[in-house]
Amino acid sequence: MNTNWITIRNPGGNAMGDSLRSLLEALEQWSRLSPGDMIIVDMSRVSFINPFLILPLCALISAESAKGIGIEIKMPDKIASYLGTVYFPHGFSIAETHCWRDRLSAYNRKTYLPASSFPVTLQTTAIREQFLTTFEQILMRQLNLKGQIITVIKYLISEAIDNITDHSGALYGWIMVQNYPQKGYLDVCIADTGKGISGSYKESGKSNVKSDALALEYAVNGKSTKNITETRGYGIDTSRRMLVNGLKGKYFLFSGQAFYIYTHELEQITPLPKYGWHGTVVALQIPAKAPEGFNYTTFLE
Amino acid sequence: MSKIIHIVNHLPSTVTTRKAIRLINDSVSFSDNENVVFDFKGIAFISRAFADEFIHFVHKHKIKARFTNTNPNIREMLQVVEKNRSRRNNGYHNIAVTPLPEKEQLNHLLSLF
């Protein structure tokens, strides 16, 4: 058996693109591995990390571990403690954590919530809803915000999570939040390792969606994979407009071999050459304060 | 006489996913044209996705529904979904698809983000 190294580049900054660059480089290395390889993920150079890198790595490492692939992590000294408290690399799991509510409550006074997995199947609806309610209650206590921004944050998180439960076909979804009170925003990452957006379109018989890039364009335009098209497919479109046009935040959607970036200055779909994400990653940078005159209801459809 | 369903007895205070409707469907039976009051006391938030599924559920079961103790957000969400049941914005905007074959190009794009 070969042992292969995946070297995680230090993001070097706290901009969204810094962490996403590190993630893409890791995925590119991952794509070159042969089946059955033992993997060492070398994070020794990492001195700053945020949910946009931590969460996808947790989801990926857990998915690969579940296939029986041996993965060893070379932890960075500087942030080993933080990574431990966010449950890196296997994530906080309600199925595997005794007294999970008490454990989560320990985060009430922190500025982050751990990289957490939640069950997705229909049979796990009750426990999933309980977990998500607890997660959001703690988040709201941490943020201590007032007014409509609370509803907006809940809206953005709920729409991304519902897409996982409705479309991904995965057994688990993932969520992590990091709040930056001094900088005035929070980073939210939500991910799955399911069939991805193009896989969901193909499965629903929309065979004209021939690429991940086109699937992203369809999804951003609210083209539902379901047959009840009148009331479906609003989630991504409304979320990105509410976040970027309304709040001046940043929206990133990554599925298969393409990603979509939407900011106040930039809107673009970028296909990737030979690697990608098996599933879907949503990354949101949400300002903690709404601009003057913002009204979230004007974005609801 | 209306049947009263206290949502909080079936769902947590934040309702996130469409599939949560199952928790009501599995525990309460409804007959056609039944008068039902859905009491949202204790519910702080419902997602748009759940609101949509909930309104579908009400129509599918031909329930004569009334909603009480809805906070402004829940009321707004239910109204928006009900209003858009038969109306759809079919606008489509094309998004620039830009392949970036060189790593430097990709890194430059991400440096702007």
Query: Sign (positive/negative) of CA torsion A30, A62, A249, A229?
Result: positive
> What is the arithmetic mean of pLDDT over B106-113?
91
Give the bridge partners for A271, in sequence order.
Answer: A258
Pick the closest to residue A57 from A87, A78, A77, A35 (CA basis).
A87
pLDDT of residue A226: 61
The shortest C-alpha distance from B26 to chain A (Å) reads: 11
Percent of chain A with pLDDT over 90: 76
The Cα B93–Cα B48 span in angstroms is 23
A133 shares contact with chain B (CB less than 8 Å): yes
What does the pLDDT look like over B51-91, one tens digit per residue? 999 999 999 999 999 999 999 999 999 999 988 876 666 67
**pLDDT given at position A63:** 94
- Does the pLDDT of residue A232 top 70, yes or no? no
Contact A162 B76 (CB under 8 A): no
Q: What is the pLDDT of residues A141-187, one digit of tens each?
A: 999 888 899 999 999 999 999 999 999 999 999 999 999 999 999 99
**Chain B residues whose beta carbon lies within 8 Å of the beta carbon of residue A128:** 16-17, 19
- CA distance to partner chain A, nearest, from residue B40 (Å): 16
CA angle (A128, A132, A138) in 5-degree steps: 150
- Domains annotated for chain A, with CATH where assigned, are 3-97+113-299 (3.30.565.10)
Tokens 């979804």 sit on residue: A173
SS3 (DSSP) at A261: strand
Distance CA A279, CA A277 (A): 6
Using one digit for the tens of pLDDT, what is the confidence trace for A248-287? 999 999 999 999 999 999 999 999 988 999 999 999 999 9
Strand extents, DSSP E, chain A: 3-7, 38-42, 71-74, 92-93, 112-119, 172-180, 185-192, 250-256, 258-262, 267-271, 277-287
State residue A233's pLDDT score.
Answer: 61
Distance (Å) from the C-alpha of residue A81 to the closest C-alpha of chain B? 28
Q: What percent of chain A clears pLDDT 70, i.e. is strictly above it?
A: 96
In Å, the largest CA–CA distance within chain B is 70
A76 close to A44: Cβ distance less than 8 angstroms: yes
pLDDT at A33: 86
Q: Is A114 exposed, middle or buried (0-12, 13-18, 19+ CB in 10 A)?
A: buried
How far CA A96 is from CA of A90, A171, A172, A231, in Å, comes to 11, 15, 13, 37
Instruction: Give the chain B residue nearest A259 (alpha carbons).
Output: B97
A155 with B52: Cβ contact below 8 A: no
Q: Please check the confidence at residue A228 and state whether its pLDDT lies above 70.
A: no
Higher pLDDT, A101 or A233: A101
* Nearest alpha-carbon partner for A157 in B65, B37, B17: B17
Cβ–Cβ below 8 Å for B16 and A166: no
